[in-house]
């Protein structure tokens, strides 16, 4: 990176680069939780930041934009992979570094509907409020509450 003149305003690209460096890892983790595929998560995170870049200067909440974009990209990917899975059966080894309990939880999350999974991940991994989750998913906070309750009931039933 070129040196900056002290006191000179930073360019928008530099601000975006800093934001990207700070948020990329969290975006990949969110996408991995939502998609269930760590390799795909990197591609989805890259796509979300690619979509953010031209709008970065105009946005008040670029983090919210990236999260919402990731939720939508993961949902779109899930729909298209569902169509593809009708044609192909996918098998993949689980990572050896993941504990049995974590693998069981991940498998349980994978059996939830996409929206239930998104609510659980956004609520318990990111710690977003019901209102924030509703905003990201385009629904009402009451819907988030009911989907969360349904998802937790399914998780408890499978893990008990």
CATH fold of 96-160: Arc Repressor Mutant, subunit A (1.10.10)
Query: Under 8 Å CB-to-CB from 20, ≥6 apart: which residues?
Result: 49
Q: What is the mean pLDDT of residues 115-131?
A: 92
Give the C-alpha separation, 117 to 121, whole Å: 6
| Residue extents of the structural domains in the chain | 11-92, 96-160
Report the share of the chain in percent with pLDDT over 90: 54
Q: What is the mean pLDDT of residues 21-41?
A: 92
Between these two residues, 85 and 61, which has the higher pLDDT value? 61
Question: Which residue is it, tokens 């990917």?
Answer: 77
Q: Which two tokens stand for residue 13?
A: 């690209």
Let me know if domain 11-92 sits in CATH 1.10.1740: yes
Give the C-alpha separation, 30 to 117, whole Å: 11
pLDDT at 34 over 50: yes
- pLDDT single digits (tens) 82-108: 666 555 444 444 455 667 777 788 888
| pTM for this model (two decimals) | 0.56
Domains 11-92 and 96-160 share a fold: no
């Amino acid at each position: 990176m070129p040196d900056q003149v002290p006191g000179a305003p930073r360019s928008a690209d530099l601000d975006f680069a800093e934001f990207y460096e700070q948020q990329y890892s969290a975006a990949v983790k969110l996408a991995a939780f939502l998609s269930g595929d760590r390799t795909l998560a990197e591609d989805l995170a890259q796509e979300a930041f690619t979509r953010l870049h031209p709008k970065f200067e105009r946005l008040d909440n670029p983090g919210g934009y990236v999260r919402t974009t990731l939720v939508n990209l993961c949902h779109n990917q899930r729909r298209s992979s569902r169509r593809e899975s009708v044609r192909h059966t996918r098998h993949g080894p689980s990572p050896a570094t993941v504990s049995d309990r974590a693998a069981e939880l991940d498998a349980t999350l994978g059996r939830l509907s996409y929206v239930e999974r998104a609510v659980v991940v956004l609520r318990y991994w990111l710690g977003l409020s019901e209102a924030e989750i509703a905003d990201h998913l385009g629904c009402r906070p009451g819907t988030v509450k009911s989907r969360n309750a349904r998802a937790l009931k399914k998780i408890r039933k499978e893990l008990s």
